[in-house]
Amino acid sequence: MALEDAKTQVDLAFTAENRRGLAFENAFGGALSFLRRRYSKDLDGVDIAVTGVPFDQAVTNRPGARLGPRAIREASTLQPFDPPYGWGIDPLSDLAVVDYGDLAFDYARVSDFPDALQVHAAGIVGAGASMITLGGDHSISLPILRAHAEVHGPLSLVQFDAHSDTWADDESARIDHGTMFYKGIKEGVIDAGSSVQVGIRTVNTDTMGVETIDARRVHEEGAARVAERIRDRVGARPVYLSFDIDALDPAFAPGTGTPVWGGLASWQAAAILRDIAGIHVIGGDIVEVAPPYDPSGATAIAGAHVAMEILCLIAWNKLGR
């Protein structure tokens, strides 16, 4: 069946007749969408909506993450042929998943961007769909968290990152990819007491009460123990999972704006994400993929896999596993 489908399937981003099902369109051709899902603004009956936010005007070093959503979509064409390895579920066949397209915003009115993104996210979450976001720099997480908190209340944050992103910033008008979780905790949309950050390897003396499992502890304790610590920390609370691609070592993800050596290997991140299945993930993002610094495409490939893992974490609960 797969071979026969491969002969006829093309441009499923626009031609797919069903929101469910694996896809066999040639990975190297056709119109791009995340996992070959159909583009749709109609969220009636949708379980999971994937959206892109091509914004990188809050970075402190190298720009380029505005090109992340496009690159992640392209890299994701390698994955929709089979159920995700190691999960024992088939979310593309069993759930209605769509590519909601990108956020539209005026790049010259940066101050208007957070509100535009919050409204965009609220429209998805308010329709009853779970939301996965392809970034974009890490500042995008705060407006998205605000929209989720309006529905779910204060959220536990599970953050994979080289940086804590809780540097103090009490200027409400500033948009910075290193201060958004400080603001989120101050605003009450993040519950620091049940939140955890993984892979940290830069200095910040105030993590606002968020538990830190730095990269060295991941290496020394192992993925299974780290996953257990995450599960214990968040309990049964609603969880937002934010994955900054610089959580991975530059050897695995060089295409990012602020790379730091000593990070996680791809296999460690994959093992941790799969071992936390069952926590109540209600949404998530993959951010800081900056394709210009990685002509091999390896960083975007890693980003696409992370997005699939987030999808599986959400699907695990929706499918009652």
pLDDT digits (tens, 9 = 90+) for 262-271: 999 999 999 9
Q: Where are the alpha helices (DSSP H) in the chain?
A: 2-8, 12-15, 68-75, 91-94, 113-126, 141-152, 180-187, 215-221, 223-234, 266-275, 298-318
Which tens digits make up the pLDDT trace of 57-105? 999 999 999 999 999 999 999 999 999 999 999 999 999 999 999 999 9
Provide the CB-side half-sphere exposure for 202 (13 A, CA).
Answer: 16
Q: Please give the average per-residue pLDDT across 105-125, as a whole number.
A: 97
The pLDDT, as a whole number, for residue 32 is 97
Rounded to an integer, what distance in angstroms lies between the CA atom of residue 225 and that of residue 80? 30
pLDDT at 20 (0 to 100): 96
Pairing of strands 156-160, 280-287: unpaired
Model pLDDT, residue 4: 62
Per-residue pLDDT averaged across 172-197, rounded? 96
Q: Which residue has the higher pLDDT, 245 or 172?
A: 245
Q: Token pair for residue 144? A: 């998205």
In the predicted structure, residue 140 carries a pLDDT above the cut 90 = yes
Domain with 13 in it: what CATH number? 3.40.800.10
Mean pLDDT of all residues belonging to the chain: 96
SS3 174: coil
Cα within 13 Å of Cα(288), Cβ side: 31
pLDDT at 3 over 70: no
Tell me which residue range forms the domain holding 164. 2-318
Mean pLDDT for the stretch of residues 178-206: 97
- Mean pLDDT, residues 177-185 taken together: 97
Looking at the structure of the chain, the number of domains it has is 1
201 and 263 Cβ atoms separated by less than 8 Å: yes
Q: How far apart are CA 279 and CA 276, in angstroms?
A: 6
Q: Over 70: is that where the pLDDT of 24 sits?
A: yes
- What band does 114 get if pLDDT is binned at 50, 70 and 90? very high
Confidence of residue 2 (pLDDT cuts 50, 70, 90): low
User: Which tens digit of pLDDT belongs to each residue from 247-266?
Assistant: 999 999 999 999 999 999 99
pLDDT at 224: 98
> Is the pLDDT score of 1 beyond 60?
no
Task: List the strands of the sheet with 211-214, edge to edge.
Answer: 97-102, 48-53, 130-135, 280-287, 238-244, 156-160, 196-200, 211-214
Whether 233 has a pLDDT exceeding 90, the answer reads: yes
User: What does the pLDDT read at residue 321?
Assistant: 81
Has residue 232 got a pLDDT over 90? yes
Q: How far apart are CA 38 and CA 282, in angstroms?
A: 22
Q: What would the DSSP string read from start to end of 97-145?
A: EEEEEEPP--TT-GGGHHHHHHHHHHHHHHTT-EEEEEESSGGGHHHHH
pTM as predicted: 0.97
